[in-house]
Amino acid sequence: MSVATLNVAFDAEGFMTNPKEWTKDIAGFLADEEGIVPLTDRHWAVIDFVRGEFAKSGESPTLRTITKKSGVDTKELYALFPKGPAKKVARVAGLGKPKGCI
């Protein structure tokens, strides 16, 4: 099974275009594409946090918001989602690219 067989749309940068179509299975596929496997409880804590923030604001939270409010500090966040954690966690969580990310 692949993400393609799930009939989910992505933008040119690989972010889901409809966050409501996201599932934990899709998260697993996207994490695998990002080289983040297996997803641990700490990964899920961040993913659940960003999805919750998105549900409130309609936007992917910034790196600063994640590190200030999720209970995961900057060092751990970079260990969990190396090389661009805000962007990677947003992608795995089925959200759009966070504002301010290049």
DSSP secondary-structure letter at 19? G
Count of other CB atoms within 10 angstroms of residue 10: 15
CA distance 19 to 79: 25
DSSP string for residues in 52-79: HHHHHHSSPPPHHHHHHHSS--HHHHHH
**Given 3, 8, 26, 101, which residue is catalytic?**
101
CA distance 85 to 71: 15
101 is catalytic: yes
- List residues with catalytic annotation: 101
